[in-house]
Amino acid sequence: MTDIEPDATVDARGAACPGPLMDLIGKIRSAESGDVIRLLSDNDQSLTDVPEWTEEAGNELLAVDELDDYNAFYVEKA
Amino acid sequence: MTEHVVIVGGGTGGTVLANDLADRLKPEIAAGDVRVTLVNDDPDHVYKPVWLYVPFGQREPDDGRRPLSELVDDAIDLQIDRVSDIDTGSQQLQFSGSSTSVDYDYLVLATGSTLEPSHIPGLAEGGYNYYSESGATALREELLEFTEGELVLSVIGTPHMCPAAPLEFVFMADDWFRERGLRDDVDITYTYPVQRVHGNPHIAEWAQPIMDDRGINVETLFNAESVDPEAETITSMEGTDLDYDLLVTIPPHAGIDLIEEAGLGDDGWVDVDKHTLEAEAAENVYALGDTADTGVPNAGSVAHYQASVVGQRLASELRGRPPTATYDGKTLCFIETGLNAASFVEFDYESPPSPAPPSQKLHWSKLAYNESYWLTARGLL
Question: What pLDDT digit, counting tens, does each position of B156-215 carry?
Answer: 978 999 999 999 999 999 999 999 999 999 999 999 999 999 999 999 999 999 999 999
**B295: region left, alpha or beta (phi > 0 left; psi from -120 to 50 alpha):** left
* Whole-angstrom distance, CA of residue B292 vs CA of residue B286: 8
Q: B375 pLDDT exceeds 90? A: yes
For residue B192, the 8-state DSSP code is -
Contact B157 A22 (CB under 8 A): yes
Contact A53 B296 (CB under 8 A): no
Q: Which residues of A are catalytic?
A: 17
Cβ–Cβ contact A49 with B under 8 A: yes
Contact B295 A56 (CB under 8 A): no
Cβ–Cβ contact A16 with B under 8 A: yes
Contact B239 A57 (CB under 8 A): yes
Query: Of all helices (H) and strands (E), which one includes residue B346?
Result: strand B342-347
Sign of torsion, CA B372 B376 B380 B381?
positive
User: Do residues B59 and B47 make contact, with C-beta atoms less than 8 angstroms apart?
Assistant: no
Chain A residues 59-78 within an 8 A CB cutoff of chain B = none
Q: What pLDDT band is residue B327 in, cutting at 50, 70 and 90? A: very high
Scored b (16 or more CB within 10 A) or e, B225-242 reads: bebeeeebbbbbbbebeb
Q: B36 pLDDT exceeds 90? A: yes
Q: What pLDDT band is residue B26 in, cutting at 50, 70 and 90? A: very high
Interface with chain B: mutation pick from A10, A22, A44, highest number of B CBs within 10 Å? A22
Q: What pLDDT band is residue B308 in, cutting at 50, 70 and 90? A: very high
User: Do residues B224 and B233 make contact, with C-beta atoms less than 8 angstroms apart?
Assistant: no
For residue A62, the 8-state DSSP code is E
Nearest to A21 among B159, B194, B267 (CB): B194
Contact B193 A25 (CB under 8 A): yes
Condensed to tens digits (0 to 9), the pLDDT of residues B203-223 reads 999 999 999 999 999 999 999
Q: B97 pLDDT exceeds 90? A: no
Condensed to tens digits (0 to 9), the pLDDT of residues B223-281 reads 999 999 999 999 999 999 999 999 999 999 999 999 999 999 988 999 999 999 999 99
Q: What pLDDT band is residue A3 in, cutting at 50, 70 and 90? A: confident
Average pLDDT for chain B: 96
Residue A42 vs residue A18, higher pLDDT: A42
Condensed to tens digits (0 to 9), the pLDDT of residues A23-42 reads 999 899 889 999 999 999 99
Contact B239 A49 (CB under 8 A): no
First-to-last C-alpha distance (Å) of chain A? 23
- β-pairing, B101-103 vs A71-76, is unpaired
Q: Bridge partners of B239?
A: none
A15 vs B contacts (CB less than 8 Å): 295
Q: A18 pLDDT exceeds 90? A: no
How distant is the Cα of A59 from the closest Cα of chain B, in angstroms?
A: 9
User: Do residues B114 and B253 make contact, with C-beta atoms less than 8 angstroms apart?
Assistant: yes
User: Do residues B66 and B55 make contact, with C-beta atoms less than 8 angstroms apart?
Assistant: no
Mean pLDDT of B288-298: 95
Residue B1 has a pLDDT of 87
Chain B residues 262-301 within an 8 A CB cutoff of chain A = 267, 274, 295-296
Q: B99 pLDDT exceeds 80? A: no
Residue B381 has a pLDDT of 81
| Bond from prior residue into B353 cis (ω within 30 degrees of 0) | no
Angle between helices B12-24 and B300-318 (to 10 degrees): 30
Residue B355 has a pLDDT of 97
Query: Of all helices (H) and strands (E), which one includes residue A25?
Result: helix A19-30
Model-level pTM?
A: 0.95
